[in-house]
Amino acid sequence: MTTTDKIKLSLSFLLLMAGVAGFYYFAQQAAAIRVLLVLAGVAAAVGVAWMAQPGKDFFAFAKESAAETRRVVWPTRKETVQTTGVVFALVIVVAIFLWIVDVSLMWLVSMLIGQGA
């Protein structure tokens, strides 16, 4: 990362913090104005960060990620319900198994220490 990029990212961070600081500095103003100050700080920070190479890389990655999600074949409602049912059934089976193991170990320990019937 170049020095110019570091300066841009630092400025971006400072703009973001200025928006947040403005929110608290103008505590007597209407909430809408205070929120607009934060949004302005975020917009300015994003704009400056976009000009730095890491920002350009991030936005290119985000664009590629959005394109990738459009290419994903999402499961149908029926497949989702069936998979969820299988997961719930497996959770119940494992819970019963662990309960049986717990009761068995508790019985074994009580027998070993002489408190069993």
The verdict on 38 and 91 lying in the same domain is: no
Query: Residue 9: which of 64, 67, 53, 43 has the closest Cα?
Result: 53
Please report, in tens digits, the pLDDT of each residue of the chain (117 residues total): 788 888 888 889 998 899 889 889 888 888 888 899 899 989 999 888 888 888 888 889 999 999 998 898 889 999 999 999 999 999 999 999 999 999 999 999 998 888 755
- Residues 86-116: tens digit of each pLDDT: 999 999 999 999 999 999 999 999 988 887 5
**What's the gap between Cα 29 and its chain centre?**
32
Q: How many domains does the chain have?
A: 2
Task: Quickly count helices (H) and strands (E) in the chain.
Answer: 4, 0
The verdict on 47 and 100 lying in the same domain is: no
Residue 75 backbone phi and psi in degrees, to 5:
-70, 155
* pTM metric for this prediction: 0.52
Domain coverage including residue 82: 75-117
The verdict on 10 and 57 lying in the same domain is: yes
